[in-house]
Chain A
Amino acid sequence: MDGLLQILQSNALESRENIARMLGVSATEVAQRIADYEKRGVIRGYQAIVNEDQLELDKVTAVIEVKVAPQREGGFDTIATRIGRFPEVRSAYLVSGAYDLLLFVEGSTLREVATFVSERLSPLDGVLSTSTHFMLKTYKRFGVLMHQPGPDERLSVTP
């Protein structure tokens, strides 16, 4: 992947000037390339990686496996897009294996998520079956471990 995208993926708040130094290009060029990525939709947005377990939120996340019937012409895309439009669905992936779609669904209570599954998701045309798993704890998100790293244990000066 492009070095610029690698830097932004590890820290989207990095200043244009610092990125420019790291890549050995001008800050103007960095700004232009970012604008271009945004315009082309390669960069879809910027979000903080939050360790929600620390916040004691009233929030439930379910991982839902969905079997669907692919539709003529639209294939999986039509049904996946339809499901993805629900704001409760935070992520949706087409996967290989025993089921087709993998969803991450959020609600404020267990009942709310259950209602979404039974009243919104399952009745959809093309949805054959669902299997819901409630998420208990997050250990790693977007490549970031959620526990705090320990102190640097290296000696402060070494040859």
Chain B
Amino acid sequence: MSGSASLRNRLNATVRDIPRSGIRDFFDLVTTVKDVISLGIGEPDFDTPWHVRESTVFALERGATHYTSNLGYPELRRALARYVGKTFGAEYNPENEVLVTVGVSEALDLALRALLNPGDEVLYHEPCYVSYRASILFAHGVPVAVETRAENGFRLTRAMLEAAVTPRTKVLMLNFPNNPTGAVMSRTDLEDIAAFARERDLIVITDEIYAELTYDAPHTSVVSVPGMRDRTIFLHGFSKAWAMTGFRLGYACGPTELIDAMMKIHQYTMLCAPSLSQKAALEALARPKTDIGEMVNEYRRRRNFIASAFADMGLECSRPLGAFYAFPSVARFGLSAKDFSLALLREEKVAVVPGTAFGACGEGFVRCAYATSLDNIKEALTRLRRFVARR
């Protein structure tokens, strides 16, 4: 055996055939350009609240540096169960229905691996977070993408799912508020989806990492719809609302049979989520309203600003209702999403992410994150206006 080609042939075929994330390629390109203003960053520009950081330092001093229980510190699980019960309207037993993970990404991977047999189909909606398709494939499932559309506010409807469901469908994945579209689902929307899931006897995995970041109406979770708690794995974490991306802390709540199965994989692979991050999370839950309230107000102002500026320059954009993304259409410029993004980067040094990074149906759109300072947003929009005026 010699040479890189033969090594490549030894790779697991699934891994070998999955392309790198489109975002990764674009990132490599952006780093070669100087003085870029980036609307491409999918994480908060706020610092983690100081009391959280300070108490993490204290936890380190106190020596919270050992393995924790596989499920996570019991006091953290109790706090999470309380928070989820109060905020999302579903009760979970912290003893066996809450699992603390290394970010929502790990939780999603565990959920899919715990559920899927080779060939099981997973319904998910695109445009979506970059990892969904790959995670399903890694778990030997069959990804079945359902396309959401701008004219519909990128919401998911029962009719879309009916058209894609088969007898092999086992799981339905939801992500609202949505990355990259900023779409949210109302209670009525979710009730339709829930009825579909019940009739088809599907397990639902709901990634609600942006739940606290909604701007016009409070978030509704699918777990609060009657009959859904017992067929749903609820995923959440601290990265977005608390600006704690680097802590890598997420969690899953669900019926004990499912959490137990996920725990089995977690204990043999990850052992436990980092102890210090768990301590940080416990502190973060002490006063969520204060921490998140100000950030939400600021995101809302930026959302209003960016939406109004897009309207002024004639960029069509479905109203962003949650998360911190706007997803305007650039189709009228006669460029692909990628070429538009490249030209904008080259000519005006503004980075946006081509919609195709989030699924094929993202063609004709770009994702603009407003998780950056208002000054940056103003300057980026001035440049974008100039760019658009030239076309």
Contacts and interface: CB of A to CB of B under 8 A. Distances in A.
Most chain B CB atoms below 10 A, which of A21, A23, A24: A21
Given A21-B309, A24-B304, A154-B41, A159 B129 contact: yes
A157 B129 contact: no
Contacts of A21: 304-305, 308-309
Nearest to B353: A157
A1 B385 CA distance: 33
Interface in B31-51: 31, 36, 38, 40-43, 45
B27 interface: yes
Interface residues of B, number: 29
A140 B57 CA distance: 22
Given A3-B297, A6-B297, A24-B308, A158 B302 contact: no
Chain A interface residue number, banded: 10 to 19
A23 B23 contact: no
A22 B23 contact: no
A156 interface: yes
Contact of A154 (B43, B302, B304): B43
B327 to A, nearest CB: 14
A23 B130 CA distance: 32
B38 A156 contact: yes
B43 A158 contact: yes
Interface of A: 3, 6-7, 18, 21-24, 152, 154-159
19 contacts: A23-B301, A24-B308, A156-B31, A156-B38, A156-B40, A156-B351, A157-B23, A157-B27, A157-B30, A157-B38, A157-B40, A157-B41, A158-B27, A158-B40, A158-B41, A158-B42, A159-B42, A159-B129, A159-B131
Given A22-B301, A152-B45, 19 more contacts: A18-B305, A21-B305, A21-B309, A22-B305, A154-B41, A156-B40, A156-B41, A157-B26, A157-B30, A157-B353, A158-B27, A158-B41, A158-B42, A158-B43, A159-B23, A159-B42, A159-B129, A159-B130, A159-B179
